[in-house]
Amino acid sequence: MVMDAMTTTTYAAAARARGLHKVYGEGETRVLALDDVSVEFPRGEFAAIMGPSGSGKSTLMHCMAGLDSVTSGSATIGDVELVGMKDKQLTRLRRDRIGFIFQAFNLMPTLTAMENITLPGDIAGRKPDRDWLARVVDAVGLADRLKHRPGQLSGGQQQRVACARALAGKPEIIFADEPTGNLDSHAGAEVLALLGSCVRDFGQSVVMVTHDPVAAAHADRVVFLADGRIVDELRTPTADSVLDRMRRLDRVG
Amino acid sequence: MFRTALRNVLAHRGRLLMTTLAVLLGTGFMTGTMIFSDSIHQAANNSRSKDFTGISVQVADDTAGLPSSARQNSTKSSARLTEATVRRIAALPGVAGTRAEVSGTAAIADKNGNMIGDIMRSTGANFVPDAAGNDARYPMLQGRGPHTATEVALDRGTVEKAGYRLGDTVRIAANGPAISVTLTGVFSSDAPAVRSGNPLALLDTQGARRVLSLAPDQYSSIDVTAAPGTSETALLHAVTPLVPGGNQFRVETGAQLAAQQAERLAQSGRSLATMLTTAAGISLFIGIFLIANTFTMLVAQRTRQLALLRAIGAGRSQVTRSVLIEALLVGLSGSAAGLLLGIGIGAALAAGVKSLDADLPRAGVVITPTTVLITLLVGTLVTVLSAALPALRACRIPPVAALSSGEQPATHRSLFLRNVLGSLTTAGGLGLVVLGSTERGATARLPLMAGALLAVLGIVQLLPLLSRPVIALARPPLARLCGTPGSLAALNAIRNPRRTASTAAALTIGLTLVTAMTVIGASVSDAIDRAVTQEMTADYVVTTLTGTLDPSIATSVAHAPGVVASSPVTDVEWSIAGERTEAKGLDADSADQLVRPNMSQGAATALKRGQILVDSSFASRHGLAVGSTVTVAAPHGTGIRLTVGGVFAPSRMLAPVLLPGGVVAAHQPYAPAQQILVKGANGATPAFKQALKDATGRSPVVEVENKQNLRDGFDRTITFALNLLYALLVMSLLVAALGVVNTLAMAVFERRRELGLLRAIGLDRGGVKRMVRLESVLISVFGAAIGMAFGVFLAWAAGTTMTVTLPELRTVLPYPKLLLMLLAAVLVGLAAAQWPARRAARLDVLDSITAD
Ligand SMILES: Nc1ncnc2c1ncn2[C@@H]1O[C@H](COP(=O)(O)OP(=O)(O)O)[C@@H](O)[C@H]1O
Ligand SMILES: [Mg+2]
C-alpha cells in the first residue's frame, strides 16, 4: 500500500514542514527551538540535517516524526497532516509509516535481533513479508546474528539491526537522529553505507540528523540549521564542502 | 549526624513512604494475627473455665446423674453426697462456709424446642438462696430466683438469644425426658463460661436434681471455704475422712482444681493453638519478608546516594551512622504504627470469625506484652538489618566507582549456591513429607509438618530458578492472546529472577497453606459425603447430645407415625477374632433398609441369619471370608462363635464389625444405644421430622438430623479452620500486592528508556499498560501456582495419613475454589499494577529516549 502511494502520487513529498514553530518553556526560560521552519523531504532522497549543537536539529526531527507537538505550523508525512492528531493516531502513524534510528538504545534488550527487527510489525499484528525481510537482513549483513540479543552485539551491529528494523516495515520515511554518534569511524561508515543503500537499493526516503560533515557527505542533500532556522542547503555534498559551510555558519553565528 | 539522617529521611518521601508502608503492613499483619490468635485462645479457654475463687476444698461426685449402667461400670459402691455430708463438713473447725451444688450438663430449649448454645458447655445448677432469698453468685437483673421445683432463672445472654420473657415456659433436659419450668428470673454471672455466651439455668435444688437425674437427697459437689488462718491443705485433710464411699469422690483443694483446669485447657486447646501459632508464625515470616524485600528493592537507588555523600566528603563512619539512625527511625515509627494497625486487624478478624459462627465463644481483644514486644522488636530489627546491611556494603565501594556505574544492571550474582541450598532443602523436605505420608495417624504429623516447612523454605529459595522455565512456558500463549505486550511482559518478568522470586514468594507461602487446607477440607467433606449418601439409606438419625439414648426413646421412635424401619445403633468394644475392636449392633430385621455397606462379598441381609459383617481391612487382618467362623468374647459370654456373612469396604459411618442387635443384647444387655436410624414412608420431610421430635418428648437434647445436618456437623470444624486461613490469605495477598507494586514501580523506573523506545516505534499507551499489567499478573500467578501445586501435594500426603480414621478419604481437588484462588492472584496482579502501569503509560516519549 505504501509502495502504491509512492508510485501513484510521485510528487507528494515523503515529509514536509510548513512554517513550523516550536517553543519550549515560558517567560524567562522560554526557548524558541524552531523558528518558522519550512522544509520538504522528497521521496527517494537521502537528506541530512546539519547545524551546531542546540540549533534545533533533534527538535525538527521529533516534530516532523510525530514524537513531539509543534507550537504552530504544519507537518505532514506523505499526505497526512500530523498537527492536531491524537496520541493514539500519532502512535499508529509512527508504527506504520515511519522508521526510527536513534543515537543509542535503539533495541529492546530482551528481544533477539530478529525479534527487534519485526517488532513494529508485531505490535501492529501484521504478518511479516518473508521475502522482503530476507532481503533486508541480507542487506544489513547480520544473517548469522539474528538470534543474538543486543547485549551480545557491538554498537555498530546494534545500529545495523536498528536500520533493518526501520526498513522492515517499508515506511514512508526513515528518521535517524545521529545514528553514528556513538560509533567509531569504521562502524559509522558501515551504517552510513547501509543508509545510503536504503535509498538507492530499496527506494527509501531517509532523513538523518548529524553534526559530522563526513556523515553528511553520504547524503544527497544537506539542510543547514542555525538558531532554529533553515539557513542554507547543499546538494551532492562532500565532506569538505559541508565543513566549509559549517565554518561559515559558525562565523555568522 | 542525627540531623543528616533525619534530613535524609525527609528528603526522599517516596522511599520513606514505601519503606514505612512495608514496615507498617509487615508488622501490622503479624501483630494482627498474634492478637487474633490470643483473643480466640482466651475466648475458647474462658468458655471452658470454671471460677474456683472462694473454693478452698471441693468434694465432687463425677458420676452423679449418670445413667445407672454407666455408673455401675465406673464405680463399685453407690455412696452419695447428701445433706448429712454437708452438715458434717460445715461443723468442722476452720470451715467458714459450704455450698452444696447440684450441677451438670443440661440443655435449654428455645421456643421451637431447639437447644440454645453448645451442649458441652450448657449447664443446669441449683440456686442457693441466703436468708434474704438471694444467691451472691448470681445477682438477679429481673424477677427472682426459683422457689419451687417448677421454676427457673436463666442468664441474660440465653434469655436474649431465645427471646424469653418472665413467666414463659422453658423446657430443660439432661439425660432423661425434658421438663417444663416457668421463667421467674434473669441473672448475670461473672463465671467466664457464662460471660463467653454459654447457657446456664438455675433451678431450685429439687428441680435441679429432677432435671439432672439425681436422687432426692443427693448433691453433685460440695464447695468448702476455709476460715481465715486455715490452709487449703489442712482443710483437705480435715474434710477427707468425712466424705463417704472411700475414695469414690474427688476431694481436692482450690489450687489443685485450678491447676488441673489449666492443664485440661492446654490439652483441649492444643490443636487450635497449633493452628493459630502456625498462622502467627507464617505472618511473621511474611512480614519479615515484605520489609526485607522492600529495602532490597531500594538498595540500588540508595547505593548511589551514599556514594554521593561519601564523594562530597562524609566519612565512612558518619555515613554508617546516618544509615543506622535512618533505619531505626523508620523501623520504630513503622512498627509502632503497625502495632496500632495490628490491633485493628486482630479485632476485625475476631469479629469476622465470630460473625461466621455465632456459637463461637465471645472474644475480647487480647493484647499481650509479648505481642507488643515482638512487634516493635521484629519491626525495628528487621528494618535496621535489611536497610543497613546492603547500605554498609555499599559504603565499602569506592565512591567514584559507585557513582559512575550509571545504569544499575540486574545483579547477575550467581544463583548457584542458592540453587544448591534450595534443592537440598526442598529435597529433604519432600523426602520427609513422603516419609510422613507412609505413616498412618498421629505419628505422621511431625515428619509431615517439618517436611512441609522445610520444603516451603526450599521452594522459596528455588523460585528464581523455577521462574525462568515456568514463565517462559507462558510466553507463547500470552503472545498469541495479547500480542507483543504479552510477549514482552513474559520476557520482563524473568529479567531479574531474584526480584521476581522475592515478589512472588509471599503468594507462594500463603497459597501453599491455604491450598493444602482447602484440598484436605474438600477431600474430607467428600469422603463424609460419600459415606453419608451412599452408605446410609436412613432418612433421619436420632441422637441425644449427651451421647447415650434411653431405651424408651428407641421404643417411642419405632412407634412414631410414618416410621417404616428403625434401628438403635449400639456401640460396643468386644474382642473379635482375638482383636479388641469397635463393633456396632444393628436391628437385624431392618438394618438392610437403613444402611447400605459397600459389600465386596456376601450380603448385608446376612445379619438376619444372625451372622456378622466385617470390613475388608479387618477381614484381611484375620484371613476372613464369607463363611469363616470367628470367636468372640463379650462382657457376658466368652467363646461365642459367629459366622461371617459378608465383607464390606471400610467406612467412617460404620465400624469394622457389624453385629445383629440380638447378639449384642444377649452378651452386653445394659449397653445403651448411641443413635437410632429411622426411615420414613415419604423420606425426609419436615412433618416426619416433627413427628419424630414429638415422639421423643420434644426434648432439647434429642436431635433429629437428616443427612445434610450430619454433613454440616462434620463440615463445621473444617469450615472454621478454613475461614481462619482465608483471613490469613487475604492478608498475605495484601502484602504480596504491596511487594508487586514495589517491584513494578522499580521496573518502570529502570526501563523508562525502552518504554520510550517502544512508544516511539509504535506501541500505544494501552499497549504499555497492558504490558506492565501482564508482567504483574504473571509474577503473582507464578507465585500462586507454585504454592498451589505444592499445597495440593501436601494435601495428598496429609490425606493418605488420614485414611485410618476416614477410610473413604481420597484426594479431591475443589476446582472452583482453586480457580477462585488463581483468580484472586490475577486480581492482586492487576490491582498492584494499576499505579505502575499508569506511570509507565504517561512517561514522556522524548524524555525517556533522551534520558541517560
Ligand atoms: N525539552 C526541552 N525543554 C526545553 N528546552 C529544550 C528542550 N529540548 C530542546 N530544548 C532547547 O531547544 C533548543 C534546540 O535543541 P535540540 O533540538 O536538541 O538541538 P540539537 O539537536 O540541534 O542539538 C536548544 O536550545 C535546547 O536547549
Ligand atoms: Mg540533538
Residue A35: phi, psi to the nearest 5? -125, 95
Compare CB distances from A120 to B483, B488, B761 and report the shortest one's residue: B761
DSSP string for B555-622: HHHHTSTTEEEEEEEEEEEEEETTEEEEEEEE-TTTHHHHB---EEEE-GGGGGGT-EEEEHHHHHHH
Given this model, what pLDDT does residue B401 score?
56
| Whole-angstrom distance, CA of residue B191 vs CA of residue B48 | 10
Q: Order of strands, edge to edge, in the sheet holding A206-209?
A: A98-101, A173-177, A206-209, A46-50, A221-226, A229-235
Taking the CA of residue A120 and the nearest CA in chain B, the distance in Å comes to 6
Q: Which residues of B touch A95 (CB under 8 A)?
A: 761-763
Name the region of B529 (left: φ>0; alpha: ψ -120 to 50; beta: rest).
alpha
Query: What is the dihedral sign for C-alpha B651, B652, B655, B658?
Result: negative
Looking at ligand 1, which atom is closest to the CA of residue A52? 22
Taking the CA of residue A19 and the nearest CA in chain B, the distance in Å comes to 22
Q: Which residues of B touch A96 (CB under 8 A)?
A: 762
Three-state DSSP class for B75?
coil
- Mean pLDDT (chain A) is 87
Q: Which of B468, B482, B484 to probe the A interface (max A CBs under 10 A)? A: B484
Q: Which residues of B touch A68 (CB under 8 A)?
A: 846
Q: Which residues line ligand 1 (CB under 6 A)?
A: A 24-25, 31, 33, 51, 53-59
Question: For cell 528464581, what's the residue?
Answer: B464
DSSP class of residue B645 equals E
Q: Which residues of B touch A111 (CB under 8 A)?
A: 488, 491
Burial of B14 (0-12, 13-18, 19+ CB in 10 A): exposed
Taking the CA of residue B758 and the nearest CA in chain A, the distance in Å comes to 8
Q: Which residues of B touch A122 (CB under 8 A)?
A: 483-484, 487
Pocket probe mutation, ligand 1, options A28, A49, A55, A207, max atoms within 8 Å of Cβ: A55
Express as a percent the part of chain A with pLDDT over 90. Answer: 46
Pocket probe mutation, ligand 1, options A22, A58, A225, max atoms within 8 Å of Cβ: A58
Query: What CATH code is assigned to A44-56+87-252?
Result: 3.40.50.300
The pLDDT averaged over each successive group of 10 residues in chain B (852 residues) is 60 70 81 81 73 85 63 54 90 90 88 77 89 87 91 92 91 81 90 82 92 87 90 90 82 86 71 68 70 68 68 74 82 91 84 63 77 89 80 66 47 74 92 84 79 90 91 90 91 88 86 88 84 84 78 85 91 89 90 89 89 91 91 86 91 87 87 88 88 81 81 72 74 79 83 89 92 95 95 90 76 91 93 92 79 50
User: Which residues from A are below 8 Å from B when comparing CB atoms?
Assistant: 62, 67-68, 87-88, 91-92, 94-96, 100, 102, 105-111, 119-120, 122-125, 165
Question: For cell 524485600, what's the residue?
Answer: B293
| Whole-angstrom distance, CA of residue B851 vs CA of residue B753 | 7
Tell me which residues have their CB within 5 A of the ion that is ligand 2.
Answer: A 58
Given this model, what pLDDT does residue B491 score?
92
**Please, which residues have CB within 8 angstroms of residue B157's CB and are 6 or more apart in sequence?**
B194, B197, B199
CB spacing of A91 vs B491 below 8 angstroms: no
Helix orientation angle between B765-801 and B752-760, rounded to the nearest 10 degrees = 120
**pLDDT reading at A9 higher than 60:** no
DSSP class of residue B405 equals T
| Whole-angstrom distance, CA of residue B154 vs CA of residue B144 | 10
Given this model, what pLDDT does residue B61 score?
85
What's the CA-to-centroid distance between A51 and ligand 2, angstroms? 10
- Residue B781 to residues B82, B287, B501, B789, B829: CA-CA distances in angstroms? 70, 20, 12, 12, 8
A173-192 pLDDT per residue, tens? 999 988 888 888 888 898 89
- The ipTM, to two decimals, is 0.90
Looking at ligand 1, which atom is closest to the CA of residue A62? 17
Task: Encode burial over B394-426: b for 16+ CB neighbours within 10 A, e otherwise.
Answer: bbeeebeebbeeeeeeeeeeebeebeeebeebb
CB spacing of A67 vs B845 below 8 angstroms: yes
Residue at B9: amino acid letter: V
DSSP string for B130-165: -TTS--TTS-EEEE----STTEEEEEHHHHHHHT--
CA B12 to mean position of chain CA atoms: 44
